[in-house]
Each structure stands twice: as C-alpha cells, then as structure tokens.
Amino acid sequence: MHTNPPSPLRQPCPPALCTCGHRTLLADATADQRILRLTRHEERRLLARLQALLDFDDLQHLRRRMHEQLGIELRLSPGLHEVRSARGVQIDFTPQPGLCRKTQRAMAATLRRAFEQHPPLLWRLLDSFDLLGA
C-alpha cells in the first residue's frame, strides 16, 4: 500500500522575534494545526494569489479557501473614519496560534495593493457593507 509523505510544516520563527506560538501549537496534538502547512513557499503562493484578485467574488472564494485549508479567518471592514482609499479598509485576522504577525502584515499589504490596482474590487467590498443604507 502506498502512503503519501507527510506535508512539510512551516519552520518556527525565532522565539525572541515572534509570538505566533508555533512551538506550542506543534506540541499540542489536539490543536488545529492546519496553519502549520503554510510554509514559506506556500505563503509566497498565497500572496501572489491575493495580489491577483479579480473581483469581489474571487476575494470571497479565497477567504473561504483560506479558512478551509489553513484555518485563517480574514475580516475586512470599512475603517472607523471615512474610506478614501485602500488604506481606509480595516484588515484583521482572528487570533490564531501559529499565524505569524509578519505573515499577517504581508497579507494585509498585499490586499491593499490589490485594492489599489482594482478599484472596482474595493468599491464592491465597501458596497457589501451597505454604507449608504439604501
């Protein structure tokens, strides 16, 4: 019988530089360890995919896939003040052991670039919050 080799796991961050909890997550066999499959190579692929977003439906699909495959919950909302550009969009991640803050910052920056490159995507995102109350 042929078995698949185990998937590679992300290398832990240096303990003094990050508080992602990689080592703790790895030690807990009962924890959701899907995020550990996000290796550096896979992270680059994810960032490229985020950069290449086409429309709002594509964004929603990718958010669902990130949650299904990695357990990442991405929250997007209008900022507290008015939104004049992609910088006004609030991009947050549900706290999750194993999700490095550098990865979170890279994903947020990539999403902002995608919004800037595709204004209709940003407008549709904002419209999904029914800001005008129509």
> Packing angle between helix 101-117 and helix 119-127, nearest 10 degrees?
110
Mean pLDDT of 33-48: 93
Angle (CA) 95-101-104 rounded to 5° is 80
Identify whether 43 is part of a domain.
yes
Task: List all residues 6 or more positions away from 21 whose beta carbon is below 8 Å from its beta carbon.
Answer: 97, 98
Domain-located, residue 17 = no
The amino acid present at 117, given as its one-letter code, is: Q
Q: What is the C-alpha to C-alpha distance for residues 79 and 92, in angstroms, rounded to an integer?
A: 11
Q: Does residue 134 sit within a domain?
A: no
User: What's the mean pLDDT in 13-36?
Assistant: 82
Query: Looking at the 3D structure of the chain, how many domains does it have?
Result: 1
69 inside domain: yes
Question: Is the per-residue pLDDT at 107 higher than 80?
Answer: yes
Does residue 75 or residue 133 have the better pLDDT?
75
Full domain range(s) for residue 110: 22-127
Position 3 pLDDT exceeds 60: no
Residue 6 predicted with pLDDT over 80:
no
What does the pLDDT average to over 57-69? 95
DSSP-based three-state secondary structure for 123: helix
With 90 as the cut, is the pLDDT of residue 2 above it?
no
